[in-house]
Structure 1
Amino acid sequence: MHSNKRVITTVAALAGIVTVGSIAATAAIPAPTPIGFAQERSADLAKQIDPAKPRNVILIIGDGMDDSMITAARNYEYGAGGRFPALDALPFTGAMTTYGLKVGAGPDYPIAYVSDSAPTASGWSTGKKTVDGRVSQGPSTAANVPGEDYETVLEKYKKQGKLVGNITTSEVTDATPAAAGSHINARACQGPTDMANCAPARKANGGKGSIAEQLVDNKIDVLMGGGASRYAQATDAGPSVLSYAQTTRGYRLVSDAAGMAGVTSLAGGPVLGLFTGGNMTPMYKPLVATPTGAGGPTTRCEAADRGNEPDLSAMTEKSIELLDNPNGFFLQAESAMIDKQEHSSDICGAIGDLKELDETVAVALAYQDEHPDTLVVVTGDHSHSTQIVGGNLDDGKQLATVQTADGDPMSVAYSTNAVGSDHTGAQIRVAAAGPQAANVTGVIDQTDLFATLLGRTPSTLPGTPTTTPTTSPTTTPTTSPTPSTPTAVRPIISVASASRIAQAALRRKGLSVAVAAAAGDSVTVRLVRDGKTVARKTLRATGGRVMLKVAKARVGKLTVKATVTGKGGTATDRQTVRVTRR
């Protein structure tokens, strides 16, 4: 499978986006003119259907990522006619229901139409429904009564001898990463001193322990995110969870981007990355909606100071590097702060983490290009209350306005609470590429995803006809229609890469860049510093993914500049990248 196939099938409406990411707050940009697909796509999609079981599986989760939030982030970053270069380039897309259960007498439990991250993440992890707050454990009569432990995808792959990874931008003990590798009746029981509602699970009572303890007991090969404070808690036996992880389970601790970059294999033992005490820092500074309206027609999101924390795309790239092996691997990567910033009515924070998710998808697809037996699945866990509205103060209980890449104002509203916002019960997007990716199409449930992640029994694709018709038309046309001369279509292009990279990584491995283009004949992508090109590569007419190395990389800013040229003219997209010492 090649990236140009994915891009061709999904690049439908990028027209008009020329300098995304570099416009000034007051810039006026002509409204984009979306174009249709250049050709009928059935044959191209058919070529991408692969019924074989995948060797590697990469599951990328956007917590709280529904269609409304995807649209808001896309409008902001690329404009109404734009597309995310990676997220929107996945060829197979469907809708996924997210309902859960409520506690009760059973066996027929009441339906919970709006669920939290614990039962939703447990749904794809185990293939079974459960109740709010419960992590990969079945329903029961009450919240404080444990249910049956359900084996997860990660645990099943671990038993098969595959390497496994679990990374997030939240605390690693939060509900979504917890569901991949632990079992407990209450998601709040993250560390040994947080066990008030999970007494039977305490190790002192013969249980499996807190979420923090279970994750390392499950010997997850790569476990990274925030949550250092949970691992600083004392276990029932006395030492901290971190000490237990290092001395008993052989984990190596990394605490910043430089430490992560320094780990080059799993030969020395599994890796535990704890980059903050709590949740990790979002890409953008907050812009919190208010009853009187926050932001305005020229408001742009500002980059946050993330210190020495790695971003999710860098964590994913390192995880894949460590997990890659002949027997295959499973990796779950969560962009968690979409949901958490939505809860805070912080539109900029949520947009930034969704952009970071797109950069993470680009990393996964770049690996898949070289390893076509890899399944990449991207979805959310539940929907949220972020809504794009007209901009009137009565459109929601809280309102915020930002200037999009089109140069126009976009207003979002939150209406579930007077302050903050909540989950909703709408279906969400699920998309995939690679072996068995076609199983996400149509409307599925989260529990259906479980079987796809594990690999279903391969089906047989219909063969091509082997006979030809025995009759032919009695008449043939004497003239052929005169083909019309097509109007030259303006080329379109979009580029995505990580927002920062360490000097050493830029020299050694290079910057991963994803480019989507259409209606052009040639595509070039360059790294520019102080007006001079320091790296350059030529791509297919539809774009693709490249690694751009700079032998003499230095600290400062680079511009990624992608240009497509065709009969209809030239289009360019840019992104700024910060080169850091570590």
Structure 2
Amino acid sequence: MLGRKRFALAAAATAGLVLVGTIAAQAELTQYPTGFSDEKSADLASQIDPSKPRNVILIIGDGMDDSVITAARNYEHGASGRFAALDALPFTGAMTTHGYKAGEGPDYPIAYVSDSAPTASAWSTGKKTIDGRISQGPSTAANVPGEDYGTVLEQFKQDGKLVGNVSTAEITDATPAAAASHINARACQGPADMANCTSAKKSEGGKGSISEQLVDNKIDVLMGGGLNRYNQATDAGPTVKEYAESEHGYRLVEDKDSMEAINSLEDGPVLGLFTGGNMTPIYEPLVAQPGGVGGPDTRCTEADRGDQPSIADMTKKAIELLDNDEGFFLQAESAMIDKQEHASDICGAIGDLKSLDETVQVALDYQEQNPDTLIIVTGDHGHSTQIVGSAGEGRQTATVQTADGDPMTVAYSTAESGSNHTGTQIRVAASGPQAANVTGVIDQTDLFATMLGRTPSEVGTPTPATPKPAASVAAVKKISVKQIKKQGLQVAVAASSATKVKVTVKKGAKTLASKNAPTKGGVVKVKVKNAKKGKLKVVVTATGAGGTATAKQQVKVTK
């Protein structure tokens, strides 16, 4: 009975889930919502796995809500496009992010808009707390310490498993700090920053600053920005960096090449500090202004990041080092989404969301060979980025040209300059064992039990007949002759139950170019060397044991 109930609930929830194979398509059945021309229940049911995960990879987009995801998707892939990894996770829900305000307790006032400290602490500990507080309970005031709460990372470490923590912010910033430190104020990142945390100083018998606590917790792979914090002198004299090396055997890496040169943890844990402060965003800034900035032809330009690794680079290396038979926990944060949203910098935020999608793909590639790995992707809180109709519809606006070739204007209206967090619910998505627990509307504290592994339940999984393949396609609506010849037409493909997937570009009945795609879909580029101005048709054909499915879309080629 329990199994049948669980399966019925899972099937009923499919309307609210973003499923594998839902990359948007302008298919023949245009009366249906984009990408939902095929019934998905069997595909979803086959992915429900109630077993406890061996590995957990938690990927955080700081400040990542649906508004900034949509803006980044429009820019990178077009309105009908999809992120190849982020949008392909089979289980999706909404997550609430409220916290508490300081007070007498035990019934603390609700903070409907929270910062990254209590939100990261919520999934790390399973408990809510107040703004500025790092994995420590609420109290009467910000400068009054609360009770230390154990974290998921610390539990994995206690169970003898390897652990990692990487970020594009300072590794001592709120989100990475909450994974493995406990302090009353998030600003107390280094020994010289302890004015609001005097009782936590080591010289006062406390656990020390965030930078000290992270290395004292012996995190096996610890990488991000924040070198300046580790260059601060401890109360005992040596710098935190020197303390980490001498007391805990950390090996310091300071650029991408030295990171790549580390091939195992046999010689000790790894401390990667790639910049003095936060790491450089992927794109150069485009900062919104009163009256507007940018225009219909404005595109973001790549930033010079020197020898800094990306979040995808760090995550790939961390997984390589942490991979073992006993299992591991890894938290990876794409932090500059939030940092650049605070600065009203739409290009900076888009770039790090693009990088987050690449990071999710790294995790999915690992999961393909290690299916007992749970991947969770979410944010910590919402932000104020909004797509609006024109430059006059916000305090500060910026306009960019999307992958569709059309202008998109975003607004920031929570302040005269810069922007602030909001209290909106945010996306949470997952793949792997116990991933179904993120569906519906959950609170971020619920992630704590899921990552530690809930008691498995019975799931009734019917054995369907040989399923018919499904396919969908998404490409830009228009592209120039020069672009399609030299750069190629980027086509997002989704497929299921297929053994072969082929993308074909046609002019009438004539085939101009074709290319094979992965059997589960992905993004491919098709160069059409003999393209001319006019209309082309992109056809995706998925072939499998259950038959053949096709999806089609028109693309306009301009001069």
Deviations 1:427-479 (A, max 9, x none): 000000000000000000011111001110000113659xxxxxxxxxxxxxx
Pair 1:254–1:514, CA change in 2 (3 A): farther
Deviations 1:187-223 (A, max 9, x none): 0000000000000000000000000000000000000
Pair 1:564–1:319, CA change in 2 (3 A): farther
Aligned to 2:283: 284
Aligned to 1:461: 459
1:357-372 matches, within 5 Å, as 357-372=356-371
Q: Distance in 1 between matches of 2:541 and 2:418?
A: 46
Kept in 2, the 8 Å contact 1:103–1:142? The answer is yes
Q: Distance in 2 between matches of 1:310 and 1:457?
A: 38
Kept in 2, the 8 Å contact 1:12–1:34? The answer is no
Pair 1:208–1:111, CA change in 2 (3 A): same
When the two structures are superposed, what TM-score results if normalisation uses the length of structure 1?
0.79
Aligned to 1:79: 78
Larger mean CA deviation between 38-47 and 166-175 belongs to: 38-47
Aligned to 1:517: 494
1:416-455 matches, within 5 Å, as 416-455=414-453
Aligned to 1:9: 20
Q: Distance in 2 between matches of 1:279 and 1:489?
A: 41
Q: Distance in 2 between matches of 1:231 and 1:524?
A: 52
Structure 1, unaligned stretches of length 5 or more? 1-5, 17-32, 466-487, 495-512, 526-535, 547-561, 573-582
In the alignment, is residue 543 of structure 1 matched against residue 521 of structure 2?
Answer: yes
* 1:256 Cα deviation after fit: 0.3
Kept in 2, the 8 Å contact 1:523–1:563? The answer is no
* 1:11 Cα deviation after fit: 2.6
Pair 1:493–1:266, CA change in 2 (3 A): farther
* 1:39 Cα deviation after fit: 1.9
1:559-570 matches, within 5 Å, as none
Pair 1:457–1:514, CA change in 2 (3 A): farther
Q: Distance in 1 between matches of 2:203 and 2:491?
A: 50
Q: Distance in 1 between matches of 2:491 and 2:215?
A: 34
* 1:292 Cα deviation after fit: 1.6
Aligned to 2:135: 136
Kept in 1, the 8 Å contact 2:26–2:553? The answer is no
Pair 1:524–1:283, CA change in 2 (3 A): farther
Aligned to 2:43: 44
Pair 1:35–1:416, CA change in 2 (3 A): closer
1:181 aligned counterpart, secondary structure: coil
Q: Distance in 1 between matches of 2:369 and 2:522?
A: 12
Kept in 2, the 8 Å contact 1:14–1:83? The answer is no
When the two structures are superposed, what TM-score results if normalisation uses the length of structure 2?
0.82
Deviations 1:473-499 (A, max 9, x none): xxxxxxxxxxxxxxx9984479xxxxx
Match of 1:415 among 413, 416, 421: 413
Aligned length, in residue pairs = 486
Q: Distance in 2 between matches of 1:514 and 1:54?
A: 33
In the alignment, is residue 170 of structure 1 matched against residue 181 of structure 2?
Answer: no
Structure 1: which amino acid aligns with 2:402? T
Pair 1:241–1:45, CA change in 2 (3 A): same
* 1:323 Cα deviation after fit: 0.1
Q: Distance in 2 between matches of 1:52 and 1:235?
A: 44
Pair 1:563–1:221, CA change in 2 (3 A): farther
1:341 aligned counterpart, secondary structure: helix
1:142-221 matches, within 5 Å, as 142-221=141-220
Pair 1:277–1:563, CA change in 2 (3 A): farther
Kept in 2, the 8 Å contact 1:7–1:517? The answer is no
Identity of aligned residues (%): 71
1:490-505 matches, within 5 Å, as 491-492=473-474
Q: Distance in 1 between matches of 2:104 and 2:90?
A: 43
Aligned to 2:227: 228
1:333 aligned counterpart, secondary structure: strand
Kept in 2, the 8 Å contact 1:7–1:516? The answer is no
Structure 2, unaligned stretches of length 5 or more? 1-16, 464-469, 477-489, 504-513, 525-537, 543-549
Kept in 1, the 8 Å contact 2:78–2:475? The answer is no
1:294 aligned counterpart, secondary structure: coil
Aligned to 1:271: 270
Structure 1: which amino acid aligns with 2:442? I
Pair 1:463–1:162, CA change in 2 (3 A): same
Deviations 1:345-393 (A, max 9, x none): 0000000000000000000001001100000000000000111001142
Aligned to 2:332: 333
Q: Distance in 1 between matches of 2:33 and 2:81?
A: 8
Kept in 2, the 8 Å contact 1:380–1:428? The answer is yes
